[in-house]
Chains A and B, each alone.
Chain A
Amino acid sequence: MSLKHMILILCGFYCVMGIMPLFFGDTDYIMNILIMILIWAVVASCWDVIMGFAGIFSFGQVAFYVIGAYSSAILSVSLDIPPVFSIMMAGVITGLFGVLVGLPCLRLAGPYVALVTFAVHMTLVPFLRGPLGRAIGSGGSQGILTIPPIKLFGLAFSSEQLVPFFYLTFSLTIICTLVLVLVIKSYWGTAFLALKDSENFAASLGISAFKYKLMVFALTSFITGLFGALYAHYVGMLSTKMLSMDVFTILMIMMVIGGIGKYPGVVVGAVITVTLSQLLAPLGMYRPLIMGAIVVVLVLFLRDGIISPIIGLLSSRRKVGLVEKSLKVSSKGK
């Protein structure tokens, strides 16, 4: 996707999101949905960068999110570190963990990377619930219940004050989105695409698979950890339910709806998925059924996600504009 289209879609998204609290600032239910859209948009974007652009079948995205959340919660609850710092530290811890997970993955092909990263996801539940987890302050199966809110310049940001928390998340989301766009459109992004398409050819042209694959693991896990930490201080409590298949599936649905490797399609995917998931919540067991049906329909009829028709529309409008312009020029000439 061209940078122009990318910026157009992202500006549209952030402009609309930015004014939402003006209309719904008093409605907690909608404000909660908006905050979750912002958080998931970034987490899903990171997954899209590692899977869609770098072609690494990492299934550890939810695990990184949970590691970030627990790290910040433990640091702030057990060590009394102010949440502003614990969130940053959680990002760094998750980034380092991402590199550790990435190292063995460098020697593995696609499906095996998926297995290794998903194994990390699966081992987190027994770890956090077990004696080791309790020893570091995970709270075992009960979880952590008293995570302090973020305090910045004398202001408290938590689920009690949704509008301030929304704008804090909004600011952080814009910064991280800018970083991701810069990475995708820089030579890093080109290296990711080249390695995804043909690792042998890329290496023969001087691209180090080791360097760039580790970079993408470090960057995406750092940002994911950061937003996991932000979420922890938003909700104020954590449990291993975050590692349920439900969360994993929701994140995957965002990718499928938005289009894998079609950034920023995944941002649109996050808006639709989070909204649908909340609206369908009263349907109980029918919710996953309906979400699953949507995925099946999309995979069958819109394999590149819903972003492709939007880009097609933008491109065709531009072409029509160019044709009209050239017709005007030629008629003036006559």
Chain B
Amino acid sequence: MLKVKNLTKKFGELIAVNDLSFEVKKGQVYGIAGPNGAGKSTVYNLITGNYSYEGKIEFDGHDITGLPPYRIAKRGIARTFQVPEIFPSLNVQETIRVGSRFGARGGLDLKHSDEIMNFVGLEEDRLQHTGLLNLLGKKKLMIGAALATKPKILMLDEPMAGSNASEIADLMVLIRNINQQLGVTIIIIEHFMKVLTELTETLLIIESGSMICCDKPEIVTNDPRVIESYLGDSYAEDK
């Protein structure tokens, strides 16, 4: 469904992403992990058209290399951000409708927007101003607005960051439901290995913009290169 071929991004002398290639299959939950500064979010920014790059990205059989972010959104690739992005001038309902109005093929679909609002559990906050939502609410809102675009792929950037145990459990259920009930393919960047091992079918580990390992989570977490560069010996001992 999503093919990333020889992706390279340089910021001056710094090589943020170095000749990275991977493929995400339809219906998968695909994980990406790596140390801070490994280039994970940069990969998201490249796929969603925020920066120019070398290499090629194919989505659903079409070349989407060089397309601007709004056109990539309309093609069916939605994303969330590590630090929750919201529209403080709009309420919850209006924010979700923005996704439907501008991102979904066929324009505003009020019924679908309301269904999504219920799906992410924000129906009681529909008229709440987004700035007044708590962190979990803001994350759900970002996911809801992204889902309102009727995406084929949803890219989540560290959705668990700053969440407590019950919020993590809540978000894990939501992510699983998005994948299984709505049939949306998911790519997730995360530092919590427990989340990745439970949710994902394939896990890609990158360091300094290059791939270290890409396989099933149980294989990846036992790979000596991954333990050395990212997980650490204590993780292996705890296991």
A: residues with CB less than 8 A from B are: 187, 190-191, 193-194, 196-198, 200-210
Q: Is B32 an interface residue (CB 8 A)?
A: no
Contact between B81 and A201, CB atoms less than 8 A apart:
yes
Q: Which of A190, A201, A203, A208 contacts B101 (CB 8 A)?
A: A190
Number of A-B contacts (CB under 8 A): 77
Closest Cβ–Cβ distance, residue B44 to chain A (whole Å): 10
Contact between B98 and A202, CB atoms less than 8 A apart:
yes
Q: Is the interface of A mostly helix, strand, loop or mixed?
A: helix
Closest Cβ–Cβ distance, residue B112 to chain A (whole Å): 14
Size of interface on B: residues with Cβ below 8 Å to A:
31
Q: Which of A197, A206, A208 contacts B88 (CB 8 A)?
A: A197
Q: Which of B50, B68, B99, B108 contacts A205 (CB 8 A)?
A: B99
B: residues with CB less than 8 A from A are: 48, 50, 68-71, 73-74, 78-79, 81, 85-90, 94, 97-99, 101-104, 108, 142, 145-146, 148-149
Q: Which of A187, A198, A203 contacts B73 (CB 8 A)?
A: A203
Contact between A191 and B89, CB atoms less than 8 A apart:
no
Q: Which of B68, B81, B101, B103 contacts A200 (CB 8 A)?
A: B81
Contacts of B146 in A (CB 8 A): 204-205
Known contacts A200-B50, A201-B81, A187 near B101 by CB under 8 Å: yes
Q: List 27 A-B contacts (CB under 8 A).
A: A187-B108, A190-B101, A191-B98, A191-B102, A193-B89, A194-B98, A198-B87, A200-B81, A201-B85, A201-B86, A201-B87, A201-B142, A202-B87, A203-B70, A203-B73, A204-B48, A204-B78, A204-B146, A205-B146, A205-B148, A206-B70, A206-B102, A206-B104, A207-B70, A207-B98, A207-B102, A209-B70
Contacts of A210 in B (CB 8 A): 68
Contact between A205 and B89, CB atoms less than 8 A apart:
no
Contacts of A206 in B (CB 8 A): 70, 73-74, 99, 102-104, 149
In the complex, what residue of chain B is closest to A208 when comparing beta carbons? B70
Assembly CA distance A207 to B149 (angstroms): 11
Contact between A203 and B87, CB atoms less than 8 A apart:
no
In the complex, what residue of chain B is closest to A203 when comparing beta carbons? B69
Closest Cβ–Cβ distance, residue A291 to chain B (whole Å): 29
Contact between B85 and A198, CB atoms less than 8 A apart:
yes
Q: Which 8 A-B pairs have the closest CB atoms?
A: A206-B103, A201-B85, A206-B102, A203-B69, A197-B87, A206-B73, A193-B89, A198-B85
Assembly CA distance A13 to B89 (angstroms): 26
Known contacts A197-B86, A197-B87, A204 near B79 by CB under 8 Å: yes
Contacts of A204 in B (CB 8 A): 48, 69, 73, 78-79, 81, 146
Assembly CA distance A214 to B103 (angstroms): 19
Contact between B68 and A203, CB atoms less than 8 A apart:
yes
Contacts of B81 in A (CB 8 A): 200-201, 204
Given A190-B94, A206-B74, A206-B103: 4 more A-B contacts, CB < 8 Å:
A198-B85, A200-B81, A205-B98, A205-B148
Assembly CA distance A196 to B88 (angstroms): 10
Q: Which residue of A193, A203, A209 has the most chain B CB atoms within 10 A of its CB atom?
A: A203
Contacts of B97 in A (CB 8 A): 190
Known contacts A187-B101, A190-B98, A194-B98, A208 near B89 by CB under 8 Å: no
